[in-house]
Every structure is written in C-alpha cells, then in structure tokens.
Amino acid sequence: MDDAFELLDPRNAQAFLKQFSAEARRKGEACFRRGAVQDVVPEEPGVAYSAVVKDGDHYEVDLEYDPAEGWSGSCSCPLGSDCEHIVAAMRALLAEHSRAAVRSLSTGGPSASASLAAARSRPAASDAGELVRRLLAARKRPLKAEEKKFLGKVRTVYERCCQAGRITHWDFEEMGLRLGGYGWDALQIWPTLPENDYLFWLYVANAAQQRQVQIPEFMQPITDLSAIQNRLARWERERQIQRWKEKLGSLHLPSAPPADGQALTDLRVLVEEKEICLQWLRPGQTTFDTIKHAQLRQFAANY
Ligand SMILES: [Zn+2]
C-alpha cells in the first residue's frame, strides 16, 4: 500500500460522513460535484489529509484519522466543524481513495486498503480494519511498508477464510507462517469463525505459537492472547466432554434391573490419606465393610 491516497480505514470514513446533518451532506455533495475541492494533500498518507474548498471564500479543511476515535474533520469557515466543506473534502478524499485502490489492484499488489474496499461489498467479513486500528494505536507512528504489506495479507486471508468457513495450511503459508505440513485440510484453531480480523489474528498467532512458529516482531505488542484464552479453554473443555460422551456411548454395559425379591447392594469408595478402598453395604447390614479380594471377584462374576 504505497499509494498516498489509500486510506487505512475507508469504512470508518463512510460512517463519518453519515454523522452529518442531511443538509450538510446535500450541500457538501453539491460542493464536491461542482469541483470545489482543490488540493487534497496527504499530510500523513492513509491517516491525515488537508484540502482547500472553494465555496465563495477559500476554506481549509483538515481530515484526520485516530485509531480509537475514527475520522474527524475541522474547517476554517465560521462554523468550524460539522459543515458542508468537511463533507465535500471527505467525498473528494474517498474518490481519491477509490482510484488509488483500483490502481493498486490493477498493478496486482496486495494492499490493506484494497482488501478493505473489497470487504465492503462482502457481508461475511465484518468490522473491517480492527487489526489496523489496534496496530496504529500501539505504534503511534505511520506504518512501514512491510507492516502494511503483512496486514494486507492477513486481511486477504481472513476474508477468504470467512468465505470458505475454514483455515488451511496454505492460508498460514500465505501469511508467511510455515506450520509444517501442506494442503487444503482445515485446521481446528478456533471454536467459531472469528467475528473480526483482530480476533482472527489472535487465533492464528496462538496456533503458530503452539507449533513454535515465530510471528513478526511488530505484531507482538498487539498480540495479547489472553483475549481468547477463555474462549479456547471453554472450547477445549467442550471437546473433551464430547470425546468422553463418544467413548462412553460406544461402551455396551449390561444393565439389568434387580429382579423381584432381589436386594440391592450399595457400593462406595472411601478415599483416605494413603489409600482408597471400595466398600459395600450388603442387604440386611447397617454399616459399610471393605470388600475383600475374593468377595470382589465373586461380586464381579455375579454382575
Ligand atoms: Zn466549513
């Protein structure tokens, strides 16, 4: 993602526009359409831009992206904020972004934003850009080219997994994580398909860690596996219970109810400090006795 007009989170930019009043949006749209927005300049590619809007007077608009707050804008007109000039500038920026995404697609380069733009047309991949937001918040500086490239790959693989409903060795390969083993067989690394790309990354990182595969250094600060540990523990427990159910379900124990007139024998296990013993309460008795070896053999033979 080397294009200065590719936004890191275009989805949030769309949401930002929806917050304006209907009037500001209508006027801003008209402003944009008559070509009033001039000089859109990337101050910090992907996250900060300035523009000049010619609407009677010349107004200067600043658009900025904050990982936690999303997009925001300010204007030099008397209103200062929530005005049509900000709408017009953002519309122009999004138009630039779309052109940049198309450029990057046509050159075949993987790009975080191109994938994000593609994600908008797909309902399966929700909450696009959570991973980017987290990384930006942790880094407090623009992302390097290699970091953007890696994020783009994770994003692409996440979207593919959402469509396929599973993850394979190949998917790990594509992210540069060689788990050993090839093929299209699905790997069981999550209880359910992660709802955003950040959770997706955590499950991927967890699977890599379990196989002693290193994740990129720059991903370490946002790779807090405690966020998924509870889910994983619950999942593991459910799987164990399922395995036991299957095991016990395949056992065929003869269980005949006691015949009429036959008395019941109670059994109990006594756990002491140094030993455990099996005791029984025979018909007619009032106390439990420890079963002797010979008695146990007889008992087992009878039942
Ligand atoms: Zn304004």
**Does residue 117 surpass a pLDDT of 50?**
no
Name every residue whose Cβ is closer than 8 Å to that of residue 226 and which is 6 or more positions away in sequence. none
Q: Are 275 and 227 in a shared domain? A: no
- Distance CA(115)–CA(148), nearest Å, equals 12
- Greatest Cα pair distance, the chain, in angstroms, is 107
The answer to whether residue 140 sits within a structural domain is yes
pLDDT of residue 105: 60
Q: Which of 188, 206, 195 is nearest to 162 (CA)?
A: 195
Q: Are 227 and 293 in a shared domain? A: no
Q: Are 42 and 150 in a shared domain? A: no
pLDDT, greater one: 113 or 65: 65
CA 25 to ligand 1 centroid distance, Å? 12
> Mean pLDDT score of the chain, rounded to an integer?
84
**Does residue 262 surpass a pLDDT of 80?**
no
* Tokens linked to 117: 């733009």
CA 48 to ligand 1 centroid distance, Å? 17
CA 92 to ligand 1 centroid distance, Å? 15
Q: Are 62 and 89 in a shared domain? A: yes
Q: Are 226 and 173 in a shared domain? A: yes
Q: Which of 280, 285, 272 is nearest to 298 (CA)?
A: 280
Q: Are 93 and 170 in a shared domain? A: no
CA 53 to ligand 1 centroid distance, Å? 8
CA 60 to ligand 1 centroid distance, Å? 8
The answer to whether residue 253 sits within a structural domain is no
pLDDT, greater one: 115 or 151: 151
Q: How many domains does the chain have?
A: 3
CA 160 to ligand 1 centroid distance, Å? 41
pLDDT band at residue 57, thresholds of 50, 70 and 90? very high
pLDDT of residue 54: 95
Q: Are 146 and 227 in a shared domain? A: yes
pLDDT of residue 122: 37
Residue indicated by tokens 């699977």: 207
Q: Are 68 and 29 in a shared domain? A: yes
Model confidence over 166-211: pLDDT tens digits?
999 999 999 999 987 767 788 999 998 998 899 999 999 999 999 9
CA 84 to ligand 1 centroid distance, Å? 6
The answer to whether residue 255 sits within a structural domain is no
Q: Which of 198, 223, 219, 46 is nearest to 130 (CA)?
A: 198
Q: Are 1 and 111 in contact (CB under 8 A)?
A: yes
pTM, whole model, 2 decimals?
A: 0.48
CA 29 to ligand 1 centroid distance, Å? 13
CA 74 to ligand 1 centroid distance, Å? 7
CA 132 to ligand 1 centroid distance, Å? 29
**Mean pLDDT calculated for residue range 88-109:** 79
Residue indicated by tokens 């007109």: 77
Model confidence over 127-164: pLDDT tens digits?
457 888 888 878 777 778 888 889 888 988 998 999 89
The answer to whether residue 60 sits within a structural domain is yes
The answer to whether residue 105 sits within a structural domain is yes
CA 251 to ligand 1 centroid distance, Å? 76
pLDDT of residue 61: 97
Q: Are 185 and 168 in contact (CB under 8 A)?
A: yes
**Mean pLDDT calculated for residue range 250-266:** 66
**Mean pLDDT calculated for residue range 59-68:** 89
**Does residue 121 surpass a pLDDT of 60?**
no
Q: Are 100 and 185 in a shared domain? A: no
- The boundaries of the domain holding residue 192 are 130-247
- Distance CA(96)–CA(241), nearest Å, equals 54
The answer to whether residue 115 sits within a structural domain is no
pLDDT of residue 20: 95
Query: How far is residue 275 CA from its own chain's centroid?
Result: 49
The answer to whether residue 215 sits within a structural domain is yes
> What count of other Cβ atoms lies within 10 Å of the Cβ of residue 252?
6
Q: Are 229 and 291 in a shared domain? A: no
Q: Are 279 and 290 in contact (CB under 8 A)?
A: yes
CA 94 to ligand 1 centroid distance, Å? 18
Lay out the sheet containing 276-281: strands in order across. Answer: 266-271, 276-281, 289-290
Q: Are 198 and 271 in a shared domain? A: no
Q: Are 232 and 141 in a shared domain? A: yes
The answer to whether residue 21 sits within a structural domain is yes
